[in-house]
Amino acid sequence: MDLIRKASQWASGKSPWILHFNAGACNGCDIEVVDCVTPRYDLERFGVVKQGSPRHADVLICTGAVTLQTRDRLKQIYEQMPEPKRVIAVGTCACTGGVFDGCYCVTGGIDTVIPVDVYVPGCAVRPDEIISAVERALSLKTDGEGDKK
């Protein structure tokens, strides 16, 4: 049993499955997330697989400021993910609300709805920054050890 626990501890950093959620981005950051799986960046080198179902995902990659339309859905998707899970806010909008902050239909950054582990600022972010953020998110041992704002 101990061996299996050790094996799964070793494995948890080696095979991050990501789920991409657009909470209200202008699509700039989403294109960069998709860039990561293209031959130029090829996230599969690190074992990263893009999954469709939140049930299969380890890392939730969120882009954009949270709009009123997506707020409940974001919360639902986060709750559907099995533990241990990590959240990465990709893009200035996802970190703080960015240019959309204060808009009548926007609640702000991702962390106004769900806890965020790693922030990646930038408008739009670069794919290599997303890759390093995924690596960093997986190296976190416990919740609340991630970036502070």
Contact status: 146 vs ligand SF4 (CB under 6 A):
no
Q: Can you tell me which of 31, 34, 53, 75 binds other proteins, judged by CB under 8 A? A: 53
**Residue 75 vs 123, nearer CB to other proteins:** 75
**4 binding other proteins? (CB under 8 A):** yes
Residue 138, Cβ density class (10 Å: 0-12 exposed, 13-18 middle, ≥19 buried): buried
Backbone angles phi, psi at 17, to 5 degrees: -100, 130
Report helix, strand and coil shares of the chain as percent, to nearest 5.
Answer: 40, 15, 40
In angstroms, the Cα distances linking 60 to 90, 118, 128 are: 10, 11, 17
Task: CB nearer to ligand SF4: give 26 or 43.
Answer: 26
Site string for other proteins, 66-105 (x = CB under 8 A): --------------x-xxx---------------------
Q: How many angstroms separate the CA atoms of 133 and 55, rounded? A: 21
Residue ranges that bind other proteins, judged by CB under 8 A: 4-5, 7-12, 14-15, 39, 42, 44-45, 47, 49, 51-53, 55-56, 58, 80, 82-84
